[in-house]
Amino acid sequence: MEMRDFGLSVLILCTLLVVNAGAQSGRVQVTPSPTPTPSDDQDLRVETEEIKVNISAFDTDGKFFPGVRVEDLVINEDNVLNQATSVRRTPANVLIVLDTGGEDRIAKDYKTTRETAKALIQNLQPDDSVALLEFNDTARIIAEWTTDKNQLYSVLDRQLRFGKRARFIEALNLAVNFLEKAGSENRHLVLITDGTDSVAKESERKAAFMRVLATDINVHVFSYTGLEQAVVKDRKKSMVRPGGSQRAQLPPGAEIPVRGQTTTYPTVTINTDREMMKRNKERGEQLSKSEKELNELSEDTNGILFLPATSDEMIEKSAALAHNIDSQYVVTYTPKRPLAVSRKGEIRSIIVTSKRDGLEVIGRRKLAVTSNP
């Protein structure tokens, strides 16, 4: 019995040693692994599946249409129909960008820019927030978000200044940054400019425009390009001026073709300053290119471009833009083709229309996918 008890004790001791050694070597897993939590990337992917687009809603008389519902709208994204998930009205955040610079400006004048901004502010609704950005030799915010119109008028009267350069692309990038920090859903960027730039490279310009398309910001433009192009044409005409007439030099013995009169022919004076002619041509080409790009930018972001023939017309059009801004709804939808499957650089075309009698909708924009969600 004693030998049997001793053998049993040795067996139990050996078993304990083996279990203990296995635990120390890590081969025994006693703690269950934690359930993985969603990563930040996964959270972001879910959030970006909702697309926002502004629409303007009018009745048949051109007045604001109240009470638009999700079932009133049809959303066409690249020929695929989508259903709106929400329609809401919120006060607008309007950032006005004032171009007060440039080496060669005549029609683009300080007073017209200032008065256009004032007229727009005056016609916006009292609960709309407005901020001001000025650019010339540099770009800077001169008024933060406020609903105090008198404060904005004061800034426009006292803080605008001239510059020799026009840093339009710098201003556009600053404007996008500023609007994205606003936290508002109803965001509008108003450009009072000819869109030309003194320093930006073509690649920087393209990148800035593409960046705007990646947002839900609505871009409206009061363009000086038409007024400035008229100046360029006048300069071109002044380089070739009528010089009256001059008598023809007839060979000796030749008879005068018309009795009692010597043959004459018109003369012109041509400006031979080639450098001036080159600058004038380049300016015209820049303005033409800028006008096309500004027009495309406004169309692609559900905005409006005004191309006035006079300074007074530019100021008067501010009321029409204010009416458009304050007739807008923010519409959201979840795309049937997820953004997660988009390739980088893809551009989606979105058109919102009405299926309700008496409701006319303007809602059109392009959305650039700058990175995979």
Each residue's pLDDT tens digit, 46-58: 445 899 999 999 9
pTM summary value: 0.78
Question: Residue 55: is it exposed, middle or buried by C-beta count within 10 angstroms (0-12/13-18/19+)?
Answer: buried
Cα–Cα distance, 372 to 370 (Å, whole number): 7
Q: For strands 93-99 and 129-135, give the pairing.
A: parallel
Helices 202-213/274-300 angle, 10° precision: 20
Sorted by sequence, the CB contacts under 8 Å of residue 159 that are 6+ apart come out as 134, 142, 143
CATH class, domain 93-242+268-325, is alpha beta
With a cut of 60, say whether residue 98 has pLDDT above it: yes
Residue 103: per-residue pLDDT: 72
Question: Residue 117: is it exposed, middle or buried by C-beta count within 10 angstroms (0-12/13-18/19+)?
Answer: buried
Residue 370: per-residue pLDDT: 79
Q: Tell me the pLDDT band of 345, cut-offs 50, 70 and 90.
A: confident
Cα–Cα distance, 315 to 113 (Å, whole number): 8
Q: What is the mean pLDDT of the chain?
A: 83
Residue 250: per-residue pLDDT: 52
Mean pLDDT in residue range 309-331: 97
Residue 17: phi, psi to the nearest 5?
-65, -40
Q: Tell me the pLDDT band of 147, cut-offs 50, 70 and 90.
A: very high
Give the chain's end-to-end CA distance (angstroms, integer): 76
Residue 347: per-residue pLDDT: 96
Sorted by sequence, the CB contacts under 8 Å of residue 241 that are 6+ apart come out as 268, 269
With a cut of 60, say whether residue 44 has pLDDT above it: no
177 CB neighbour count, 10 Å cutoff: 10
128 CB neighbour count, 10 Å cutoff: 20
Residue 10: per-residue pLDDT: 39
Mean pLDDT in residue range 14-19: 38
Residue 128: per-residue pLDDT: 98
CB 363 within 8 A of CB 55: yes
Each residue's pLDDT tens digit, 184-229: 899 999 999 999 999 999 999 999 999 999 999 999 999 999 999 9
Residue 93: phi, psi to the nearest 5?
-105, 115
> What does the block give as tokens for 130?
């407005």
CB 317 within 8 A of CB 227: no
Residue 6: per-residue pLDDT: 41
Cα 179 to the center of its chain, rounded Å = 11
Low-confidence winner among 39-43, 154-158, 230-234 (lowest mean pLDDT): 39-43
Taking CA atoms, 173 is separated from 169, 179, 216, 347, in Å, by 6, 10, 15, 20
Each residue's pLDDT tens digit, 235-287: 766 654 555 555 555 555 555 555 455 555 565 455 556 777 888 888 889 99
Q: Tell me the pLDDT band of 106, cut-offs 50, 70 and 90.
A: confident
Residue 210: per-residue pLDDT: 96
Compare 263 and 177 and report the one with higher pLDDT.
177
Residue 233: per-residue pLDDT: 83
Residue 43: per-residue pLDDT: 44
Q: Tell me the pLDDT band of 99, cut-offs 50, 70 and 90.
A: very high
CB 181 within 8 A of CB 217: no
Cα–Cα distance, 287 to 106 (Å, whole number): 13
Residue 140: per-residue pLDDT: 97
Q: Tell me the pLDDT band of 28, cut-offs 50, 70 and 90.
A: very low
Domain spans, the chain: 43-88+331-373, 93-242+268-325
Residue 278: per-residue pLDDT: 81
Where is 332: in which H helix or E strand? Answer: strand 328-333
Q: Tell me the pLDDT band of 29, cut-offs 50, 70 and 90.
A: very low
Cα angle 297, 89, 123; round to 5: 65
Residue among 94, 85, 87, 92 nearest 66 (CA): 87
